[in-house]
Every structure is written in structure tokens, then in C-alpha cells.
Chains A and B, each alone.
Chain A
């Protein structure tokens, strides 16, 4: 029996419609200002919007049948979506603050089809019970082929992880949201220095010492002030995002939920996980903290920029492996002993990094003297980044479990991928004619992620090393 959404959906639709047509609205009001028929126009617009929203509501129906979710919608182009339960990759529910008193949610259903970059189906405003029904139906559908094993294993207890307030604190404090702001500050600082240069020479000569000290102090205060503000902003943002973060596993169902203002819940089937990723920024590396992510074959995270699902925001190094074992099917996960690069690999990483640094340095040295000399400070930074990237490149093959560990470091971020052989979509070995002479080769591993691909690239391995991975992948012993 097809059902309608909750009537609040009309209001939600109105809000989105209003947002979509905000510029026409402003245009009309701007041009018709002080004309007698302005109120009439506004009334007409309002009636039109309400009409569209109501029509949309009336024509939107959904149904949870035994085998699939069926959604009918569209005013001009009627669309009938038909999503079998066992094809659902992720179910995501978001509860905006105004939905909470009514026990309503917004549901997004994703499959692994990837011809469009939006969820397969969205139920904008429905009762929370719909989510539970959907979850149950999916579990039933996805467990069907393996009923035998399901009976054999006793029902597992629910595993739960809840973020500790102190952990959340550390996570927010070590977030690098301040870096773009810091860049803005240095830019501002340069501007101020130029201003100094434009001052007449005798003026600066006279007040030389005093002026210099005071501007310097002033700039320093300004920097510290902006830094503190930006730190505070990024801190609050992370707290709001991951407030009361919980992760729970019930048999093959992973559920994460988080958020202060709008509560975001994502449900994933464990066998659908493509890979587990351990992320460490340089800052968090100092504190031995790790962020645990999983790659999925659908867009799971609500923020478009981060399509990977955060499994646990912050973990101490000692807890990482036990938590991976607890929440994924990688029962034997452990700290890998990575095979790392040879000397020529190190040299190439550092060389590339230094060459890249010369791009901004050379113009600075030619045209921006004497301040341009400061750009030479980039060289040790570039050397450090190159060395960091080389040191963190490595892999380990766990032949018995058919699992590959891959690690690279890029832009001072270390990422360790744990991927089962069955989830690797393709593998590519690349080399230039010059690298061939030196027996070097890049290794690209392609893993499905979101609606696209995550390319894990290990650069400057020896040909023998990348061959070793390729042969394991191809199954020749």
C-alpha cells in the first residue's frame, strides 16, 4: 500500500524551493519596489510555491514491499524507483533540529550504481519507524543466502563504541582546520610588510626602532588573536560534527551516529566494506592518534567533500587493531611490518619535492629580493616532506588471509589501507623509460570508493616489489 510522506514534508519542500528561487525573488522585489502591485506579485509567488510543494507532496508516494523499496515521484516527469533490499549499500538518516520533536527523519538510500552523483532515493520526511523497518528488511534480504552459517554461529552481542568527551576534545584540538586560516594570516602579514616598505625613508629612519618594535608587536598580537579565533572555530565545528559519536555493530550491521545540531546516522552492511583506512596527520602522529575510516561503494558521508565514512574519529595507537577486529571482518588485522623503499626511491621522492619547491622559490629570488631570500626556507620543508613521503611508503602482503596492506604519506598525511584481495578492482604498474633502467615502478591499486575510485599509489617501488604484489594479486605462487 503506497504511503505519503509526513505532512511536514510540505514545509521542508517549501524551504528548499524558497532557497532555490532566492535570486528570482530578490530580482522581482528589487525591480518592482514601490510599485502598487508588489503585494499581489508576492502573494502570487507564495501561492505558486505552496501549490508546487503540495503537488509534490501529493505525487510522492513510497512503499516498502517484501523485496524492494518502491518510490514514485515527480510532477512533470514521473519516476518510479525500484530498489531491491539486498542491493542497498548504505542507509543514512539525518534528523534536523526541527524534526526532532516530531520523531521524524530524512532517509537516504544508496546502492552501488554510479551513474549519478546523488543518492538513489531520498525520503525527505518520514517517521523514524520507517528506518527500523527498512533496516530489518535489508538484514533479512542480505542474510538469506547464508542462513546455514547464520544458524551455526550464535547470535553475537552488540558491540558498541562511544566516544569519550576527552577523546573528542583531543580530536577537535588536533584538527588541522587552522591551516588554511594560517595561510591567510601569512598573506595578511606580507601585505602589512609591504605597507612598511611604502613608508617614506626618513620617516622610518627617524622612528626606526620604536616603529619597528610596535608594528612587530601589533602584527604578532593580531596573528595570535586570529589564530586563537580560528582554532576556536575549527574546534567548535569538530565538536558539533562528532558530538556523542557512537558506533555499534550488530551481527553484520554497522551503525554510526553523530552530530549535535542535526543527528546523522549511517547504517552499513559489514561485507560491503571495500577497505579500512587508518589516517594520521603529522600532528596526530606526534600524539599517537589515528582516525579510522572505511571505504564504501556508495556515498555515505553527508558532507560531499568527505565521501568516506568515519568509523572512529580518534583512537590511541594501542587500541586500533582490537577495534578493527571488533567492528570489521578483518579478524587478523595487526600492525603490519611494511616492506619499504630502497635508497633510489628516497632520492627520487626528495628530488621531486625539491624541484616542486623551486617553482615558487626561483621567482621569489629573482623578483622579490631581499624578502625573496626567505623563500629559501621552503627547501628544508620540501626536503622534509619528500623524506616523509618516502619513509611512509610501503606494503605488506598477508597471503594466508588474502589481505593487502598499503601505506603512503602525502602532504604530511599518512594513510594505511587494509584491503582484501576480493575488493581490489584493478592493479596497475607504471614506469617511465628512465625508471625502467633503474628497475623502479609505481604501483596503483584501484579500490571502489563512493561513486568513484580511490587510487592508492605507491611510488618508486622497485620493479621486483611491485611485481611481487601483482603476482600475489594474479594468484601465481
Chain B
């Protein structure tokens, strides 16, 4: 088992905010049910169910953030990139650097605010993401991966 590197702690803030933002989307069915109650007299308990849903989903997501953080990590070796994610559904991916076709750095508004960058690694068949690393780490990651990738044969 190789030694994994943890993501920067700022990612926890980004996850928490995004959990709350996701909750906003859940408000849409809530509004829908309330309107349906007033106009078509849908039973009241439906509203309660949706409210519970709106509260529980982000709460669970928020509660899982520390676990998610502890179980997420990555390792960049000369020959391999190893990514690990998930607390309840755990996943560990191994990608040979020689198979990597391209590396994309991505940054949404949340990550930009936290000065982080997501790294997407694409092979001829798959796509993997490191959810967030600091800007200088992202740049050096990209450089490392591209260097190792170009050293070996480029053909699929």
C-alpha cells in the first residue's frame, strides 16, 4: 500500500459549501409540493416528507465531510498515479502515467475562492479526477504527469 497524500484542508470548506448549494436545488421540489398543496390539495404530509428530505440530505453530506476527507487521497509516482475516494463506497484507482493522454486543470467559483484546482486525468478509455489541490501543487502535478507521460511511447 503506497503512502497517500491528503488533499489540502481547504477542500473541506468547498465540500461544505457545495453541500449547502446542493440543498438549494432540493428547494425546487419543496416549492412544487407546497404549490400543489394549495392548488390541487395534495396531502399535507407530502410537504413534511420533502422538508425532512431537504434537511436530512445536506445534513448527512455535512456530517460525512470529515470522513470523506480522511478517506480521500492521491499519490503520484514516476510510473503511477493512485487516487482514493469515498467513505461508504470506497474506490482506489491506479493509472499508469504511460497511459495518460491528457491532464486538465479545472476550477469552478468555489474552488477559485478557496484557491484550489481540480485535476482531471484522462486515458484512452477512462477519466479520473483529483477533487482539489493548491495551485502550485496542481501546476507541478501537471508538469510531472506530462513529463512522465511523454517519456514513454505515446501510442495507445
Given A426-B128, A446-B125, is A436 in contact with B80 using a C-beta cutoff of 8 Å? Answer: no
Q: Does chain A have a CB within 8 A of B15?
A: no
- Report how far A448 CA is from B91 CA in the complex, Å: 20
Q: Does chain B have a CB within 8 A of A473?
A: yes
What does the 1/0 interface line of A257-269 toward B look like (CB < 8 Å)?
0000000000000
Cross-chain contact B126 with A429 (CB below 8 angstroms):
no
Cross-chain contact A448 with B79 (CB below 8 angstroms):
no
- B1, B2, B91: the one within 8 Å of A428 (CB): B91
Cross-chain contact B90 with A425 (CB below 8 angstroms):
no
Question: CB-nearest residue of chain A relative to B153?
Answer: A422
Question: CB-nearest residue of chain A relative to B124?
Answer: A448
- A297, A426, A433, A467: the one within 8 Å of B126 (CB): A426
What does the 1/0 interface line of A422-455 toward B look like (CB < 8 Å)?
1011111111110010000000001111001110
Given A426-B94, A426-B123, is A474 in contact with B99 using a C-beta cutoff of 8 Å? Answer: no
A437 vs chain B, min Cβ distance (A)? 12
- Report how far A356 CA is from B90 CA in the complex, Å: 23
Given A474-B79, A474-B80, A475-B79, is A426 in contact with B90 using a C-beta cutoff of 8 Å? Answer: no
Question: CB-nearest residue of chain B relative to A87?
Answer: B155
Q: Does chain A have a CB within 8 A of B148?
A: no
Q: Does chain B have a CB within 8 A of A96?
A: no
For A428, the chain B residues whose CB sits under 8 A away are 91-94
Q: Does chain B have a CB within 8 A of A470?
A: yes
- B90, B94, B125, B128: the one within 8 Å of A430 (CB): B90
Given A112-B156, A426-B99, is A436 in contact with B126 using a C-beta cutoff of 8 Å? Answer: no
Q: Does chain A have a CB within 8 A of B53?
A: no
- A112, A431, A467: the one within 8 Å of B124 (CB): A112
For B52, the chain A residues whose CB sits under 8 A away are none
For B99, the chain A residues whose CB sits under 8 A away are 424-426
Q: Does chain A have a CB within 8 A of B87?
A: yes
Given A474-B79, A474-B80, A474-B94, is A447 in contact with B125 using a C-beta cutoff of 8 Å? Answer: yes
For B94, the chain A residues whose CB sits under 8 A away are 426-428, 470, 473-474
For A470, the chain B residues whose CB sits under 8 A away are 92, 94
A-B contact count (CB 8 A): 69
For B28, the chain A residues whose CB sits under 8 A away are none
Given A297-B156, A474-B80, A475-B79, is A452 in contact with B92 using a C-beta cutoff of 8 Å? Answer: no
- Report how far A448 CA is from B89 CA in the complex, Å: 25
The A-contacting residues of B in range 57-92, CB under 8 angstroms, are 77, 79-80, 82, 87-92
Cross-chain contact B125 with A426 (CB below 8 angstroms):
yes
Cross-chain contact B88 with A426 (CB below 8 angstroms):
no
For B98, the chain A residues whose CB sits under 8 A away are 422
B37 vs chain A, min Cβ distance (A)? 30
Cross-chain contact B125 with A449 (CB below 8 angstroms):
yes
For A433, the chain B residues whose CB sits under 8 A away are 87-90
- Report how far A297 CA is from B124 CA in the complex, Å: 9
Question: CB-nearest residue of chain B relative to A453?
Answer: B125
A242 vs chain B, min Cβ distance (A)? 29
- Report how far A112 CA is from B93 CA in the complex, Å: 23
For B92, the chain A residues whose CB sits under 8 A away are 428-430, 470
- Report how far A473 CA is from B77 CA in the complex, Å: 13
- Report how far A452 CA is from B125 CA in the complex, Å: 6
For B124, the chain A residues whose CB sits under 8 A away are 112, 114, 297, 425, 448
- Report how far A297 CA is from B95 CA in the complex, Å: 18
The A-contacting residues of B in range 90-120, CB under 8 angstroms, are 90-96, 98-99
For A431, the chain B residues whose CB sits under 8 A away are 90
For A447, the chain B residues whose CB sits under 8 A away are 125
Cross-chain contact A426 with B79 (CB below 8 angstroms):
no
Cross-chain contact A430 with B88 (CB below 8 angstroms):
no
B68 vs chain A, min Cβ distance (A)? 12
- Report how far A33 CA is from B9 CA in the complex, Å: 74
- Report how far A474 CA is from B96 CA in the complex, Å: 8
Cross-chain contact B126 with A453 (CB below 8 angstroms):
yes
Cross-chain contact B156 with A426 (CB below 8 angstroms):
no
- B77, B79, B123, B156: the one within 8 Å of A446 (CB): B123
- Report how far A102 CA is from B36 CA in the complex, Å: 69
Q: Closest 8 A-B residue pairs measured CB to CB?
A: A453-B125, A425-B125, A448-B125, A425-B123, A427-B94, A426-B95, A428-B93, A429-B92
11 interchain pairs (CB within 8 A)? A425-B99, A425-B125, A428-B94, A430-B91, A430-B92, A448-B124, A452-B125, A453-B125, A467-B1, A470-B94, A474-B82
